Amino acid sequence: MSKVLVTGGAGFIGSNLVNRLVQNSKDVVIFDNEFRGSFNNISDKKVQLVKGDITKPEDWECLPKGITSIFHMGAINGTKFFYEIPERVLEVNVKGVINMLEYAIKNNVGEVLFASSSEVYGIPSRFPTGETEILKIPDPLNPRYSYSGSKIIGELFCINYGRKYGLKNTIVRYHNVYGPKMGNEHVIPQLIRKLVRKEEFVLEGDGTETRSFCYIDDAVEATLIAGRDKSVKDRIFNIGNPEEVSISSLAQQLIQISGVKVVPKYRPKEMAGTKRRVPDITKIRSLGYTPKVFLKEGLRITYDWYAKHYSS
Ligand SMILES: NC(=O)c1ccc[n+]([C@@H]2O[C@H](COP(=O)([O-])OP(=O)(O)OC[C@H]3O[C@@H](n4cnc5c(N)ncnc54)[C@H](O)[C@@H]3O)[C@@H](O)[C@H]2O)c1
């Protein structure tokens, strides 16, 4: 039986992925230090939980033998951390991927999938943005780009180690994945908190910025499709939903779901990022992926979960 390792498997995408892998009868091991995720997110008792730090080679030694593939989700994610601890973001995300690759090579793992990000496109020049867009760091002095820098380096390590050591590797670039238990450091849970707790409803920016949000179940499905595929040679895939929405429209949709009567206020962003973010998903679509959850439906599910969370 194949044994699958999910680093960062206690986190948002990782725990949902683990649940799907278990449903597909996979033998699953999670490696996580619970920096942000929690082993409480995992209900299935068959899943083996290993608490450890991906930056420490000795912690990788604690993993059970016989792992046949790795989903590398372990990383520091969450915008707040990019500003507060950029040096640690770089350390965890870069050392983590190097240790993962070293482990895979030493233990004949064979297949790895690396969780990258839409942030590698920096401020893109084309919309929707395809995988061939140039990767860039718009401003190395802005700590925000510690994260995208770490993901660009991670991709390069996967590609070049893969080539040298015959490791099948897949890179997925997630675009704003959302859903229950996504953490509190993203725009959707932040707006829901303001509505539930009746806090001042202030949005950063002028509301015209756009993003494309991908519901967690769709992201997991796309991840499995990308990992399974053997036909595509250049194995880099955008994962997202091309439904583009302005931040003011997102806020209006959440206001409507909440039933709260409030008029959003806007405040200039301290450090502006890209005005638009919308993925071209032609490549992953060609493998059979279709996003199934429309924003309206996904927001309702997410709102209901966070409304309970923030009112308790
Ligand atoms: N959620 C998104 O929209 C999104 C978008 C682009 C890319 N990604 C990438 O996808 C992956 C999963 O993202 P997520 O949203 O589930 O984030 P998350 O923060 O919920 O999950 C990351 C997990 O990594 C763990 N971790 C952090 N530092 C660690 C360390 N030193 N050792 C071991 N484990 C450690 C955390 O505890 C957490 O459980 C990440 O690599 C992230 O960068 C996510």
pLDDT value for 312: 79
91 lies in the same domain as 228? yes
Question: Has residue 272 got a pLDDT over 70?
Answer: no
Domain assignment present for residue 299? The answer is yes
Give the nearest ligand 1 atom to 34 CA. 37
Residue 25 confidence class, pLDDT cut points 50, 70, 90 = confident
Q: What's the structural domain count of the chain?
A: 2
Parent domain of 302: 187-211+242-278+292-311
Higher pLDDT, 25 or 133: 133
> Would you please indicate which residues are annotated as catalytic (active-site) residues?
147
Cα dist. 290→133, 160, 245 in Å?
22, 30, 18
CB count within 10 Å of CB 212 equals 23
142 lies in the same domain as 49? yes
Tell me the pLDDT of the chain averaged across its residues.
Answer: 96
> Over pLDDT 90: what percentage of the chain?
92
Tell me 279's DSSP state.
B
139 lies in the same domain as 54? yes
88 lies in the same domain as 55? yes
219 lies in the same domain as 269? no
pLDDT value for 230: 87
Question: Has residue 251 got a pLDDT over 70?
Answer: yes
CATH number of the structural domain spanning residue 193: 3.90.25.10
102 lies in the same domain as 15? yes
Residue to mutate, 30, 42, 71, 73, ligand 1, most ligand atoms under 8 Å from C-beta: 73
| Tens-digit pLDDT profile for residues 138-160 | 999 999 999 999 999 999 999 99
Q: What is the mean pLDDT of the segment spanning 260-284?
A: 91
104 lies in the same domain as 198? no
CATH number of the structural domain spanning residue 51: 3.40.50.720
User: Cis bond leading into 128, ω under 30°?
Assistant: yes
Cα–Cα dist 153/236, whole Å: 14
The number of C-alpha atoms within 13 Å of 93 and in the hemisphere containing its C-beta is: 28
Answer yes or no: are the C-beta atoms of 160 and 166 closer than 8 Å. Answer: no
65 lies in the same domain as 168? yes
Cα–Cα dist 103/116, whole Å: 19
229 lies in the same domain as 301? no
The encoded tokens of residue 40 equal 């409480």
Give the nearest ligand 1 atom to 37 CA. 39
Residue 310 confidence class, pLDDT cut points 50, 70, 90 = very high
